[in-house]
Amino acid sequence: MNIPELLSPAGSMESLEAALHFGADAVYGGMKKYGLRAMADNFDGAELRKAVAAAHGMGRKFYLTMNIYPFDDELEGFAEAARHALEAGVDAAIVSDPGAIRTLRTRVPELKIHVSTQASTVNTPAAEMYRDMGCERVILAREVSLERIAEMKRRLGDSIQLETFVHGASCMAYSGRCLLSAYLTGRSGNRGECAQPCRWKYAVVEEKRPGEYMPVAEDENGTYLFSARDLCLMPILPELCAAGVSSLKIEGRMKSEYYVATVTGAYRRALDLLRTGEEAFRRALPELTEELKCASHRDSDTGFLLGKPETPGEAEGFHQEREYIARVLDADAGNGLSRLLLKNRFFAGDELERMGRNGITKVKASPFIREKTGERMESFGVAGETVLMEVPGCEKGDMLRGPVRNHRR
């Protein structure tokens, strides 16, 4: 079976490290300008070189998001930034605008180009046009069905690569081309500044009843008028691989490193199982589906892959079945202890789980040492502090998690 590249988000250095540790074949991230996630940490020049080196040091790739729609007066800086990115070693730039693509092909011809999903590519002639412009890959619009992806691949052959999103948030507008944020807040999603107003709570006011607010639809989490469900293609992963896509992309440059680790790890295990045969994947599918629920998520479906979504506009808030406790900074800090960077409070005796490259294992928390003071403790909850505790079999980059709860005892 065709096993595509697994492409994970890197909105920060921590997320990049998590993506690489948990099995991404490639990562994508942005600079401080020219990408569509201006509120992510992103990378300055020195950080970009460090990020690319980290990926290449593990035999992985780094793709740079440059997918804003630039105006004429921005194209000079856009091209100059692309040249610096090429010198930093990025493997490709992700670009939306045909004018920007043409500029880069002329000004930085050595830089490979992937056409962003923001270009809304939904048919073979469009992909052929980008191929003829010298682009290496097209990231398809989320509205393209599985059947149409397979047909596009059949017609295009190996002349250009196809990439599709496999997991994460979806915009309410066509391939993310949304003007709602620009209209309501002056922050354009097509300029990297989306305020996500489709996730806000809304009510209707009848003209002759000013001040009487009537919710459009409501549940215990609020009202979500426009909000699409998250995308989750884990159930149809074999069919997606068979369709011939070159890369499967996880959305989430605004998400935490814990989210990136959880989702990347689940899809990595799924793809590795598919290498051995579909039967092994099907046996593990319930467990893999539950694993995806351990990170913050909203209700999900298969988007447009199997036809029109059955429940548009009915996402019901966020859910999370496990809480991020700590990240392993050093697996061998002496005396059989590991050094952990604390994220949330835990207690000696807690039944935790260790997230590692090869899956999830149970860990019982023992009394630990607060590194700053050397004191032995039963509980601690100051995020950013380091503690020393026995964590059998762990590696640097592994994570600990536990049940979601309030921390008052």
SS3 per-residue string spanning 7-18: EEECCCHHHHHH
The verdict on 150 and 251 lying in the same domain is: yes
Residue 220 lies in a domain: no
d(CA 295, CA 246): 26
The verdict on 169 and 207 lying in the same domain is: no
Task: List, in order, residues 6 or more apart from 203 with CB less than 8 Å away.
Answer: 213, 214, 215, 216, 223
- The answer to whether residues 128 and 289 touch, using CB atoms and an 8 Å cutoff, is no
Task: List, in order, residues 6 or more apart from 27 with CB less than 8 Å away.
Answer: 7, 8, 9, 10, 16, 19, 20, 51, 55, 60, 61, 62, 63
d(CA 116, CA 93): 9
d(CA 2, CA 19): 22
Could you report the per-residue pLDDT of 22-39, keeping only the tens digit for each?
A: 999 999 999 887 766 555
Residue 222 lies in a domain: no
The verdict on 111 and 53 lying in the same domain is: yes
Please say if the pLDDT value at position 365 is more than 70.
yes
Of 309, 344, 378, the one marking the end of a domain is 309
Q: What is the pTM of this model?
A: 0.89
The verdict on 191 and 246 lying in the same domain is: no
Can you read off the two tokens belonging to residue 373?
């003071």
The verdict on 154 and 208 lying in the same domain is: no
pLDDT score at 316? 60
Instruction: Provide the domain count of the chain.
Output: 3
Task: List, in order, residues 6 or more apart from 269 with CB less than 8 Å away.
Answer: 23, 284, 288, 359
d(CA 266, CA 293): 10
Q: What are phi and psi of 178, to 5 degrees?
A: -115, 135
Residue 24 lies in a domain: yes
pLDDT score at 205? 79
Q: What percent of the chain has pLDDT over 90?
A: 71
Residue 22 lies in a domain: yes
The verdict on 75 and 184 lying in the same domain is: no
Please say if the pLDDT value at position 299 is more than 90.
no
pLDDT score at 408? 43
Provide the b/e sequence for 14-25 (b: ≥16 CB within 10 Å): bbbbbbbbbbbb
Residue 357 lies in a domain: yes
The verdict on 246 and 124 lying in the same domain is: yes
What CATH number is associated with residue 374?
A: 2.40.30.10
pLDDT score at 409? 41
What CATH number is associated with residue 267?
A: 3.20.20.70
d(CA 402, CA 338): 18
Of 184, 215, 246, the one marking the end of a domain is 215
Average pLDDT over residues 270-282: 96
The verdict on 375 and 248 lying in the same domain is: no
The verdict on 254 and 391 lying in the same domain is: no
The verdict on 284 and 338 lying in the same domain is: no
Q: Which domain, by its residues, includes 368?
A: 323-402
